[in-house]
Amino acid sequence: MAAVRVEEVLAAAEEQEAERRRSVTVEKELELEFDLGNLLALDRNPPPAAGLRGAGPRREAQLRALARDNTQLLVARLWELPAERAGGAGGPLVARLPEPAFRLPREKPPPRPRPPTRWEQFARLKGIRRRKRTSLVWDEQAKEWRRRWGYRRAGGDPARAWLAEVPAGADPEEDQFARLRREKRERVARNELNRLRNLARAHRAGAAVPAAPLHPTGHQSREELGRVARVARVSTASLGRFQPRLPKEPAEPPSRSGGRKRRFEPLLGNLAAERSRQLELLRDMGSKKPVLDITRAVNKQLRQEEAEAAAAKGKKQSQRGKRGRRQQRAGRSSKKSGVRRQQQQQRPAGGGTGRRKKA
Amino acid sequence: MRPLTEAETRAVFEKLGKYIGENIQLLVDRPDGTYCFRLHRDRVYYLSEKLLKVAASVPRDSLVAPGTCFGKFTKTQKFRLSVTALDFLAPYAKYKVWVKPGSEQSFLYGNHVLKSGLGRITENTAQYQGVVVYSMADVPLGFGVAAKSTQECRKVDPMAIVVFHQADVGEYVRSEDTLT
């Protein structure tokens, strides 16, 4: 009887095992192609032609079975990846995915090419080509090669331009130097205006606006990188309010002037609010103050030392006999020694047991 | 003139707290009017709201002193209490030191208080605690820092310093030009 039962149990267990294994193994004609970096599994097996025609619950069930089988194969592959425990010994088991092989298509259309500027159009029309300029220029007066622009440039020495001729047909009263300066300023302004116009035209035409400072190269200075990091931080939908900070980065609100000016509270601002803020500050300061343990301990120690010294003196006197005892008694009756007696009681250890009991 | 920043307020309250403890609340929150602290040329002034409104209309260069000067911030942003704050701090002082009539004059000249000149001292004064110095007739004379705790004061020899001098009312005469 028992043997039969055991056999039955074993058979049932084995059937259960087979069932479980069946649910885990999947048979396919063609092997699937896997891209584990994207968690992608491509099934090139031809679908069962008969079942997928027409809508219906049977079709649904077949599709679901197909999806389940493919997912089973993908998960089996994932379990084969090298894994480690994240966050120490008790953390979850994390598989390390390989690099994704499948290139996902673009989300947005590629940027259009920049439209040519007015000068570029003109140059193309006229056939003007760009000539490379030399960096040094021969300065005739200084008789040496000077740089084209910058420190000690050729012909840029202001002491040299001591004369400005009045051109024929100009007003003799006009200040020529002022005129030259004004014209230079106008030229610079016009140049800047044209640059901005070209930029606006490119932007309107949908071209990619050159964001060269925002792409990291190896040659950027610390300030530039800091500026770029700040811009990148603010370029989110919430203007950087919820961006996580590095551990040592200080939490600060963005200043309008970009860190140039210190801002203070207004002079006659809300005085009630100021008062409440100050009271809260006082409360915080008060709560953090530790109790003066040191002073108390020191004073207590001093008192104990005094008491011990007095006790020692009293003991010495008691050894002298009757006279000492009389003095002792007299000493004991005074208020001072009463206090001392109480302090002796408080002492955790030490001599003077007789006196303590009597007190 | 501008209000104090958070750090500056903290520095001022910490210094004042050394002398008057938690009674600063009574200075900040007064029943008879709104008083506030303002900073003008590195000096901290204590003034009423009414005076503040009037002083706000004076140009910065012409303004000498709005209200009572409590002290000033040094170049390294440390706060120094000055004697002009005595009238406000003396009623709220926690730890007091009374000086004998003989050495009153010495204190008013800027010297420290010796044990021989010490009349009374508040019980439980810690060492280096801020104290207000009074004469025996309960007239406030200035500020100081206790050089010894009360217990130690009892035992120390008569020529030892018990209170370091910080400010006294004699400064009104001595440093008349630099006081605001």
Distance from C-alpha of A34 to C-alpha of A21, rounded to nearest angstrom: 22
CA torsion sign, A98 to A103 to A105 to A106? positive
| Contact check, Cβ <8 Å, A282/B149 | no
For chain A, percent of residues with pLDDT exceeding 90: 18
DSSP for B43-105, please give it. EEEEEEHHHHHHHTTS-TTT----SEEEEEE-TTS-EEE-GGGHHHHGGG-SSEEEE-HHHHH
pLDDT of res. B47: 94
In three-state secondary structure terms, A190 is helix
Pairing of strands B96-99, B118-121: antiparallel
| Contacts with B, A 290-319, CB within 8 Å | 292, 295, 298-299, 302
Question: Do the Cβ atoms of A267 and B53 come within 8 Å?
Answer: no
Size of interface A-B (CB pairs under 8 A): 57
Q: Does B13 touch chain A (CB under 8 A)?
A: yes
* Nearest by CB: A285 against B14, B52, B124: B14
Contact by Cβ (8 Å): A202, A114: yes
Question: Distance (Å, rounded) from C-alpha A71 to C-alpha A69?
Answer: 5
Cα torsion A268, A272, A278, A281: sign:
negative
> Looking at residue B57, what is its pLDDT?
93
For the stretch A125-155, what's the b/e string if a residue is b when 16 or more beta carbons lie within 10 angstroms of its beta carbon? eeeeeeeeeeeeeebeeeeeebeeeeeeebe
**Cβ contact, residue pair B52, A285, below 8 Å:** no
The token pair that represents A335 in the structure block: 């208020």
When mean pLDDT is compared across A111-120, A173-182, A345-354, the lowest value belongs to A345-354
**Is A267–B5 a contact, with Cβ atoms under 8 angstroms apart?**
no
Give the Cα separation of A160 and B95 in Å (integer). Answer: 76
Q: SS3 for B136? A: coil
**B8 close contact with A: CB closer than 8 A:** no
Neighbours of A69 (CB within 10 A): 17
The whole-number pLDDT of residue A320 equals: 63
How much is the average pLDDT of A83-90? 82
**Segment among A145-154, A196-205, A332-341, B104-113 with least mean pLDDT:** A332-341
Taking CB atoms and an 8 Å limit, are A292 and B56 in contact across chains? no
For the residues A192-213, what does the mean pLDDT come to? 82
pLDDT value of position A254: 62
Residues 252-281 of A with CB under 8 A from B: 264-269, 271-272, 274-275, 278-279, 281
> Do the Cβ atoms of A267 and B14 come within 8 Å?
no
pLDDT-derived band at A29, boundaries 50, 70, 90: confident
Min Cα separation A314/chain B (Å): 21
Cα–Cα distance, B153 to B98 (Å, whole number) = 13
Closest to A101 (Cα-Cα) out of A159, A39, A152, A160: A39
Lowest mean pLDDT among A134-138, A277-281, A347-351: A347-351
List, in order, residues 6 or more apart from A192 with CB less than 8 Å away: none
Q: Is B123 on the interface with A (CB under 8 A)?
A: no
Q: pLDDT value at position A357?
A: 45
Q: Does A157 touch chain B (CB under 8 A)?
A: no
Q: In the structure encoding, which two tokens stand for residue A354, read together?
A: 């007789």
- SS3 label, residue A171: coil
Q: What's the pLDDT at A211?
A: 65
Query: Is B3 in Cβ contact with A279 (below 8 Å)?
Result: no
In angstroms, what separates the C-alpha of A106 from chain B's closest C-alpha? 51
DSSP helix/strand/coil, B165: strand
Q: In the predicted model, what is the mean pLDDT of residues A208-231? A: 75
By the CB < 8 Å criterion, does B116 face chain A? no
pLDDT score of A345 more than 50: no
Where on the phi/psi map is residue A292: left (φ > 0), alpha (ψ -120 to 50), or beta?
beta
Whole-angstrom distance, CA of residue B27 vs CA of residue B180: 20
* The pLDDT value given to residue A202: 87
Cβ neighbours around B111 below 10 Å, total: 14
> How buried is A281 (Cβ within 10 angstroms: 0-12 exposed, 13-18 middle, 19+ buried)?
middle
Residue A1 DSSP class: -
Residue pair B127/B146 in contact by the 8 Å Cβ criterion: yes
Average pLDDT over residues A31-51: 85
Q: Does B23 touch chain A (CB under 8 A)?
A: no
CA distance B29 to chain A (A): 7
Which residues of chain A does B11 touch, with a Cβ-Cβ cutoff of 8 Å?
A: none
pLDDT the model gives residue A212: 60
**B151 CB near a chain A CB, below 8 Å?**
yes
Contacts of A52 by beta carbon, 8 Å cutoff, 6+ apart: A59, A62, A63
SS3 A279: helix
Compare A123 and A255 and report the one with higher pLDDT.
A123
Judged by CB atoms closer than 8 Å, whether chains meet at B56 and A272 is answered as: no
Mean of pLDDT over chain A: 80
Question: What is the mean predicted confidence (pLDDT) over A175-198?
Answer: 93
- From CA A270, how far away is CA A262, in angstroms rounded? 20
DSSP string over A71-110: HHHHHHHHHTS-EEETTSTTS-EEE------SPPPPSSPP
What residue type is A353 in one-letter code?
A: T
Residue B104's closest CA among B125, B91, B124, B119? B119
The sign of the CA dihedral B157, B158, B160, B166 is positive
**Closest by Cα among A15, A43, A49, A20 to A30:** A43
- The closest CB to that of B34, out of A271, A281, A292, belongs to A271
Provide the sign of the torsion angle of the four alpha carbons B137, B140, B146, B147, taken in this order. negative
> In A, which residues are within 8 Å of B77 by CB distance?
none
Instruction: State the DSSP string of A104-170.
Output: PPPSSPPPBPPPPPHHHHHHHHHT----PPPSEEEETTTTEEEESSSTTBTT--TTT----PPPTTS
Cα–Cα distance for residue pair B105/A171, rounded to 1 Å: 82
- Best of A261, A263, A264, A267 to substitute, by most chain B Cβ atoms within 10 angstroms, is A267
Chain B positions in Cβ-Cβ contact with residue A271 (cut-off 8 Å): 34, 36, 49
The answer to whether the beta carbons of residues B70 and B46 sit under 8 Å apart is yes
The pLDDT assigned to A222 comes to: 85
Nearest residue on chain A to B39, judged by CA atoms?
A: A267
- Between chains, do B56 and A268 touch, taking CB under 8 Å as contact? yes
Strand, helix or coil at A224? helix
Residue A346 has pLDDT above 50, yes or no: no
Position B170 scores a pLDDT of 94
- More confidently predicted of A24 and A264: A264
pLDDT tens sequence for chain B (180 residues) = 999 999 999 999 999 999 998 899 999 999 999 999 999 999 999 999 999 999 999 999 999 999 999 999 999 999 999 999 999 999 999 999 999 999 999 999 999 999 999 999 998 898 999 999 999 999 999 999 999 999 889 999 999 999 999 999 999 999 988 887
pLDDT confidence of residue B97: 95
Q: Looking at this predicted complex, what is its ipTM?
A: 0.87
Q: How far apart are CA A278 and CA B50, in angstroms?
A: 19
Chain B residues within an 8 Å CB radius of A278:
9, 13, 28
- What is the chain B residue with the closest CA to A288? B14
What pLDDT sits at residue B38? Answer: 96
Report helix, strand or coil for A346.
helix
Pairwise pLDDT comparison (A1 vs A237), residue with the higher score: A237
Query: How is the beta sheet containing B118-121 ordered, strand by strand?
Result: B113-114, B161-168, B140-146, B130-135, B96-99, B118-121
Tens-place pLDDT, residues A284-317: 888 776 656 676 788 888 888 888 988 888 887 7
